[in-house]
Amino acid sequence: MKSLDELRKIRDEVKKNLEMRAGEHRAKIVVGMGTCGIAAGARETMRAFLEALDAAAITDVAVTATGCAGFCDQEPLVDVEMKGQPAVRYGRVDTAAVRKSVQEHIVGGKKVDALVIG
Amino acid sequence: MKDLSLHLLDILENSAKAGATEVAIRLAWGKEWLDLEIADNGPGFPDSVKADPTDPFRTTRTERKVGLGLALLRAAAEQTGGSLELGTAKEGGVWLRARFQFNHLDAKPLGRLEDALNAAMLAWPKLNLSVRIGPDREEVLNTKEIKAQLGDVEIGNSQVQVFLYQLLRQELAPLYEWAAALSLNTGKPE
């Protein structure tokens, strides 16, 4: 694999940033990636999150995916779990909603009520 | 499925659900042929399915009696004048090669293959991906190696994912160029 050097550089940068926060990720984002999610655009939602986090120079957020949660008509579903707080579930998360949730919730610390479901 | 990236994601899900821990993905192309080869180290086709895995009524699904993934992949390949070959991988599990004639009117677009690989990495972290792209089948991504390099840092870390996404787009660029030049369909990519 090429670019392992670059990967190592990123690893070191991320580690440094994590160390500043005592090794903890500030938040975990779980994107619904079941068939319903994919049909609703979850892949674009995930990509938008990664790009928004990168643009905001946030390096201590972990992104994972999960399957169908049963709220198919609310897909793309995204759970945002800030460290030490219960997870907040957002529904119908399109790219505009992604930007909002990164700015207001992940950076600003305040959940976006308009997006919250159940 | 609108594009080939969705087929790729679907087949990788098969490997993940079967409990495979390694899957090799190979994309090769030349003239007008595109080959998508996938081989995993899962348990392979069980006897109930082996006779014809592309039969939608033969499936390992338990929640319903129909599995469409392989049937749709075969249709996607054959409608371009291509084929789907299935067998046993040298790693022990399922091996398949879907061949598409890309300058065919019924050839589906590639879609964003990097999105499929990114989603697979995050949805099924226990499934390691080895991706080879190009006629020389050079390995451009190996999640086992990546995790080894990252150590404590999670592969799901957003910075790491952005890097891998950009790396994949770079490595896939020649394939996308080839596809754009050959494709008879002028539909805009989504």
Quote the pLDDT of residue A68. Answer: 85
Q: Over the stretch B150-170, which tens digit does the pLDDT of each residue have?
A: 988 888 888 888 899 899 999
Closest CA to B115 of A95, A100, A46: A46
Each of the 118 residues of chain A gets a pLDDT tens digit; together they read 668 888 898 888 888 877 776 767 889 999 998 888 888 889 889 989 988 988 888 878 888 888 888 889 999 999 999 988 999 999 999 999 999 999 999 999 899 999 999 6
Within-domain flag for B189? no
- The CATH number covering residue B73 comes to 3.30.565
Within-domain flag for B107? yes
Q: How far is B65 from chain A (nearest CA, A)?
A: 17
Cβ contact A46–B163 (<8 Å): no
Counting the structural domains of chain B, the total is 1
Token pair 């700015």 is found at: A103
Average pLDDT estimate for B116-145: 91
> Is the ipTM, as predicted for this complex, more than 0.90?
no
Closest CA to B122 of A38, A58, A64: A64
Quote the pLDDT of residue B54. Answer: 87
Within-domain flag for B187? no
Domain of B149? Answer: 4-182
Amino acid sitting at position B34 = L
Within-domain flag for B83? yes
Cβ contact B153–A18 (<8 Å): yes
Contacts of B151 in chain A (CB under 8 A): 11, 15
Q: Over the stretch A51-76, which tens digit does the pLDDT of each residue have?
A: 898 888 887 888 888 888 888 999 99
Cβ contact B150–A7 (<8 Å): yes
Within-domain flag for B190? no
Closest CA to B184 of B69, B85, B38, B81: B81
Cβ contact B123–A66 (<8 Å): yes
**Can you tell me the distance from the alpha carbon of A96 to that of A115, in angstroms, rounded to the nearest whole number?**
11
Alpha-carbon distances, residue A69 vs A32, A75, B156 (angstroms) = 7, 9, 20
Q: How far is B150 from chain A (nearest CA, A)?
A: 6
Within-domain flag for B138? yes
**Can you tell me the distance from the alpha carbon of A54 to that of A42, in angstroms, rounded to the nearest whole number?**
18
Within-domain flag for B58? yes
Within-domain flag for B163? yes
Task: Read off the pLDDT band of B188 (50, 70, 90).
Answer: low
Contacts of B6 in chain A (CB under 8 A): 38
